[in-house]
Amino acid sequence: MKQDNTVITENLSEWYKKTEKQIGLHKDTLNKKDHKKYKLDLLLRIARRLENFSNICSECQTFKQDLTKLLQDLSYSLQVSNTIQMSKEEHKSYNYTINNIIKHLKKQHNLISEGYYTGISTGIGTAVGVGLGAAFENTGAGIGLGAAIGTGIGIYLERKAKKEDRII
């Protein structure tokens, strides 16, 4: 096992190591509220995905540069004032860049956001429930049963995705 870990570490590019270090530095400097606001944990998870896919995907290669640019902007802001000062517009474009990368990861690499399946399970449950309700001629009971089935399916799919390492 120990040997495997060594191999993984060696395979990580300089880019990833640098990115990880920089995100770590930002996390040390910023308070918890700003961690969330600037999605630092998410950035690190995205970095790992881009690292993995950039060998086979030119778009991910480009996104790596976008991510580096985002972190540079954060660093610059921190150097100037110790806190991040982003205008509304800048913050908007910051989130836009992140969302753009996530959109690509979902579409091209079959990944999902955490809670995706549990989120849609209510919809599945209601649809199943209405069908069952019609069959039983008891809409209330049908929807109740459907909701339980939907939740079960959602939890199952979410676990499966986690096992397959498909959650961003």
Give, to the nearest 10 degrees, the angle between helix 116-136 and helix 139-163.
Answer: 150
Q: Taking the complex as a whole, how short is the minimal distance between the CB of residue 118 and Zn ion, in angstroms? A: 26
Q: Which residues, numbered 109-168, are part of the site for Zn ion (CB under 5 A)?
A: none
Q: Which lies closer to Zn ion via its Cβ, residue 51 or residue 158?
A: 51
Q: Does 59 bind Zn ion (CB under 5 A)?
A: yes
Q: Taking the complex as a whole, how short is the minimal distance between the CB of residue 45 and Zn ion, in angstroms? A: 15
Binding piece for Zn ion, criterion CB under 5 A, among 34-42, 69-77, 105-113, 121-129: 105-113
Q: Does 57 bind Zn ion (CB under 5 A)?
A: yes
The partner residues of 167 in beta bridges, in order of sequence, read 112
Residue nearest to Zn ion (CB): 57
DSSP assignment, residue 167?
A: B
Best CA proximity match to 23, nearest among 60, 63, 78, 62: 78
Q: Which lies closer to Zn ion via its Cβ, residue 145 or residue 167?
A: 167
Q: Taking the complex as a whole, how short is the minimal distance between the CB of residue 158 and Zn ion, in angstroms? A: 23
Q: Which lies closer to Zn ion via its Cβ, residue 60 or residue 71?
A: 60
Q: Find the binder of Zn ion among 38, 53, 94, 117 (CB under 5 A).
A: 53
Binding piece for Zn ion, criterion CB under 5 A, among 12-20, 35-43, 48-56, 158-166: 48-56
What are the φ/ψ torsions at residue 38 (nearest 5 degrees)? Answer: -100, 10
Q: Which residues sit at the interface with Zn ion, rule CB under 5 A?
A: 53, 57, 59-60, 108
